[in-house]
Amino acid sequence: MRIKAVCFDLYGTLAYVAEPISDKSASDFLVSRGYEVYPQALHASWQCVFFLDYPKYGYTNWNDEIQRVLQRLSVKADKETLKELTRLYENAKWTRFPDVEDAVKKAKSLGLGTAIVTTIARFQFKEALKPILRKIDVIVDGYTFHCEKSNPRIYLKMLEALDVDASEAVMVGDEMELDIQLPKRLGMKAILLDRAGQFLAQQSRMEADFVVRNLNEAIDALTEA
């Protein structure tokens, strides 16, 4: 059966944050303002918000998401502290990989449906991906189907939205469990994007249908998928 759609992972596949805000940096800032918020607790709160709260509530900006993180820690920050903390996260800009535009354009020229699937909130990455978003038929984040990416439902609903069977779709991503193993269990094809050359073991090659070094190679491989 021929391939009708290609689905892309987000982080590490289409875009990345070159200098993300670390839990320690955010903690140091909050402590300097008199709030006893330390890295491990902050990290745990972010995990809860990322995987549990965002799929339920779909925050549309950093301010709202950060307020929820602090609420989970029973911290009510003053307006100026919240404003400056929000600015820290906003300034950690997303960067689009240089091969993204050509690869998506090539996919559309082949008549393929296109999708992005991630748990990450759309407001974080939409500006970085602005040049390609018109060419993406379905954008799925954690709120779209109210589940995070390890839940098979996120893929099943995405396929439904694309109006293709699992066997007619290919997932492209850089993470073995969520981008390769899970889609393949559902009947999809899967292409492992190995930008850094770290997945050289034979087992990785056996699990993925293809292993490629960039997105243009991934699209070229679709004629063989």
Q: List pLDDT tens digits, range 110-151.
A: 999 999 999 999 999 999 999 999 999 999 999 999 999 999
Residues 121 and 185 in one domain: yes
Whether 112 and 12 share a structural domain? yes
Co-location of 134 and 210 in the same domain: yes
My answer on whether 78 and 187 are in the same domain is no
Q: What are 36-59's pLDDT values in tens digits? A: 999 999 999 999 999 999 999 999
CATH of the domain at 109: 3.40.50.1000
Q: Using the 3D structure, point to which of 72, 90, 108 is the last residue of a domain.
A: 90
Same domain, 76 and 101: no
Pair 164, 137: CB distance under 8 Å:
no
The total number of structural domains in the chain stands at 2
Q: Are residues 70 and 142 in the same domain?
A: no
Task: Provide the domain limits for residue 52.
Answer: 20-90
pLDDT over threshold 90, residue 197: no
Q: Which of 152, 150, 122, 115 is nearest to 136 (CA)?
A: 115
Please, which residues have CB within 8 angstroms of residue 80's CB and are 6 or more apart in sequence?
none
Residues 170 and 115 in one domain: yes
